[in-house]
């Protein structure tokens, strides 16, 4: 069949199925694109929600927990106080012996 022998009826008989196939592909494409767009929107909403929760958690941590500088300052004060108590405890036996000696000196005098 040569190009000159093609009639309008032949073209129309081929155009119908081609249009139907293109229409079906376009319909499937549109439906998939709509679903993908819905999933993107849900994902964006979820991301926004998670970011908001993370920001709230960070704020709670900042409000409720001590910073490293605060922990170091507390550690320094506790260490200094423990050193002072340790020195006092180490001096106790000498103080007890000194009192006993003074007591015995008073008794013998």
Domain range summary for the chain, segments of one domain joined by +: 7-65, 66-109
Looking at residue 45, its pLDDT comes to: 93
Q: Which of 34, 31, 12 is nearest to 23 (CA)?
A: 31
Assigned token pair, 41: 């929107």
Distant-in-sequence, close-in-space partners of 9: CB < 8 Å, separation ≥ 6: none
What pLDDT is recorded for position 1?
57
DSSP, residue by residue, 11-79: HHHHHHHHHHHHHHHHHHHHHHHHHHHHHHHHHHHHHHHHHHHHHHHHHHHHHHS--HHHHHHHHHHHH
The pLDDT score that the predictor gives to residue 61 is: 86
Cα separation, 64 vs 96, in Å, equals: 47
Tell me the pLDDT of the chain (109 aa) as tens digits.
Answer: 567 777 888 888 889 899 999 999 999 999 999 999 999 999 999 999 999 999 999 999 888 887 888 889 999 999 999 999 999 999 999 888 889 998 888 877 6
Tokens 């506790």 -> residue: 78
């Amino acid at each position: 069949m040569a190009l000159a022998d093609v009639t309008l009826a032949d073209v129309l008989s081929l155009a119908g199925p081609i249009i139907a196939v293109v229409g079906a592909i376009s319909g499937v494409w549109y439906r998939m694109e709509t679903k993908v767009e819905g999933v993107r929107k849900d994902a964006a909403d979820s991301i926004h929600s998670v970011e908001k929760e993370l920001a709230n958690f960070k704020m709670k941590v900042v409000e409720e927990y001590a910073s490293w500088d605060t922990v170091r300052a507390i550690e320094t004060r506790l260490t200094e106080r423990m050193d002072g108590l340790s020195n006092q405890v180490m001096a106790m036996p000498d103080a007890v012996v000194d009192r006993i000696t003074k007591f015995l000196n008073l008794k013998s005098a």
